[in-house]
Amino acid sequence: MVYRSQGRSSEHEALIRELLDHRRRRAHQQNASPVDKNQYAWALLKFTPVELRDPPTALRLALEVNEMTGYENTGFLDILSLAYHLTGDTAKAIETQERAIALLPPGDTRLRRHMNAVLAKFKAALVE
């Protein structure tokens, strides 16, 4: 982020590529954990520059992670919902985000507000 804020885009991109490669290797190890796979999926959805993103691969990983964990982890479902949205299945993204929110403990938390904001964004995109 420092490189990017200083306009040093080539150094920023080199570090991002290195991090993506590291996460890819970890996610594809035989004993990779759901967290390893989920972190790689998140990176493929969110990293900049945008050209490094790969939503279809992220969706495959996120589905695998959620199958491994029984679709019962809020954070994993959150990434899956974003992957659905970015691959064009916003209706499925909404359904998945609602499921993730339903798993949260009661109360008005920062995480709940964030997840509701994401849900609202998905719903708005579906109407467009």
For 75-123, how does the pLDDT look when each residue is reduced to its tens digit (9 = 90+)? 999 999 999 999 999 999 999 999 999 999 998 899 999 999 999 999 9
Query: Structural domain tally of the chain?
Result: 1
Q: Note down the domain range covering 63.
A: 2-127
> Distance between CA atoms of 53 and 70, rounded to whole angstroms?
26
Whole-number pLDDT of residue 103: 96
> Distance between CA atoms of 28 and 41, rounded to whole angstroms?
12
- Compute the 3-state secondary structure of the chain and give helix, strand, coil in percent, each to the nearest 5: 75, 0, 25
Residue 49 has pLDDT above 80, yes or no: no
How many residues are there in the chain? 128
Residue 5 has pLDDT above 70, yes or no: no
CATH of the domain at 16: 1.25.40.10
Q: pTM (2 decimals)?
A: 0.86
